[in-house]
Structure 1
Amino acid sequence: MINTNSALDFPAVWYHGTSNIEVSNIQGGIDLSKGRKLVDFGPGFYLTSNREQAVTQAVRKVNQHNAAEQRKFLKERRSGRFYRRKFARQGAVLTYTLSNDQLAACPNQQFFNAMNEDWGSFVLGNRCNNPEILDIQFHNRDHFYDFVYGPLADGFQIPTLIGYVENDEMSAEQFFEEIRDVYDFPELNQLSIHTPQAIGCFLLKDEVDYIETSRNVGSQR
């Protein structure tokens, strides 16, 4: 848990929270084409130095996956088709070791050490639906940055807030105020990697920590 402008200061161990269904795919190698597109620091692979934060993310991803499977099931059933739900049964935390020297050698780096307007503008640029409407140039949708490090934004309400901004119902400054100070940085943090060079700086450990979730995911029948 650090506040720094150098990858040389980063911890040697980082974590990624996911569901048990995704473990084998990630073990085969990080695929930057997968995952959500409209995320805080741009499409990429996200890590944290806080293991408990990764556990929370793992449980959240299990619940999100299972909710999506249930929606697919209901949609297909309404159409008279059968869909076998592929429920996730556990969360999973993957552990990576970092080569600090290699990551520090990446040419394009971005650090945010405060929830300021630069950070807020960057989050808005990466998460908005129509950046051309807002004329936002500061973003990472094109994987320009090899990696980005900084605070988490309050992601639960961001899609709604962005709609307000795009419809001129909220200013960018008001958006920044709404998404900041929800998570305690640097205790809670995120490191996103966006290029093959950055991916090559992380080595996945063999062991996987599986996390039991409290939600009953039901039957796969």
Structure 2
Amino acid sequence: MKLYHGTTSEFVMPDLSKGRENTDFGIGFYLTDKESMAKNWKKGHPNNHVIVYELTLANIETGKLHIKRFENADIEWAKFVYNNRKGKNKKSRYDLIIGPLADNGLENWFTRLEKGEIDWDDLAKGIEFNKFQSLQFCFIKPNAIKLLEYAERK
């Protein structure tokens, strides 16, 4: 499977120490399954390019990696993203997290939640029909990074 990372930096393999805090799935190296999404992550910056990696999950031996997979943008996913964005999950117990790529609209729901205008059930109903078109893959630990093989830079 091809995965894409938009960046302004020059590198072949990621350095996990450069991950940012308060992101959707926590500190890690993020990729997406859609090249167009990777291009938009750093839109308008000089030296914008996309690094392409190959990922083969089929080769993972059972019990070797702790992977969290969100199949849908549901309340469990929303709470997980919220807690990470607010810095409440400081250390992940996962090696790799896969799930829908949140858009800026989700932050509006979180703001309404914090103001007390809605509760979690309202948020869940509100995002139920949103079509999150891309997946994001967050590689958190070195053993997960080893699943990536550099393919090219575009």
Indicate whether the TM-score tops 0.5.
yes
**Does structure 2 retain, via aligned residues, the 8 Å contact 1:103–1:198?**
no
| Map 1:11-22 → 2, pairs under 5 A | 11=1, 13-19=2-8, 22=9
**2:141: which partner in 1?**
195
State the distance in 2 between where 1:112 and 1:58 align: 25
Equivalent residue runs for 1:1-221 within 5 Å: 11=1, 13-19=2-8, 22=9, 24=10, 26-27=11-12, 29-59=13-43, 63=44, 88-100=45-57, 101-102=59-60, 106-129=64-87, 131=88, 139=89, 141-155=90-104, 158=107, 161-178=109-126, 181-185=129-133, 188-205=134-151, 207-209=152-154
Is the contact made by 1:155 and 1:179 (CA closer than 8 Å) also made in structure 2? no
Q: Which structure's CA Rg is the greater one?
A: 1
Distance 1:151 1:157, change over 3 A: closer
Give, in whole Å, the separation in 1 of the partners of 2:7 and 2:117: 35
The CA deviation at 1:33 is 2.4
Does the residue aligned with 1:42 lie in a helix, a strand or coil? Answer: coil
Q: Which runs of 5+ in 1 are unaligned?
A: 1-10, 64-87, 132-138, 210-221
Distance 2:61 2:48 in 1: 28
Q: Which has the higher helix share?
A: 1
Letter in 1 for 2:78: G
Shift of 1:161: 4.4
Alpha-carbon shift at residue 192 of structure 1 (Å)? 0.9
Match of 1:196, as an amino acid? Answer: P
More strand by share: 2
Q: Deviations over 1:41-78 (max 9, x none)?
A: 1111111122222222232xxx3xxxxxxxxxxxxxxx
Determine helix, strand or coil for the equivalent of 1:15: strand
Contact 2:102–2:132 (8 Å) recurs in 1: no
Percent identity over the alignment is 28
User: Which structure has the higher relative contact order (CA within 8 Å, separation 6+)?
Assistant: 2
CA contact (8 A) 2:65 2:143 kept: no
**Runs (5+) with no aligned partner, structure 2:** none
Query: Which residue type is aligned with residue 28 of structure 2?
Result: G
1:182 shift after superposition: 4.2
Please state whether the residue corresponding to 2:103 is helix, strand or coil: coil
CA RMSD of aligned residues (A): 2.5
Q: Distance in 2 between matches of 1:38 and 1:178?
A: 23
More divergent stretch after superposition (31-40 vs 110-119): 31-40
CA 1:105–1:95 in structure 2 vs 1: closer, same or farther (change >3 Å)? farther
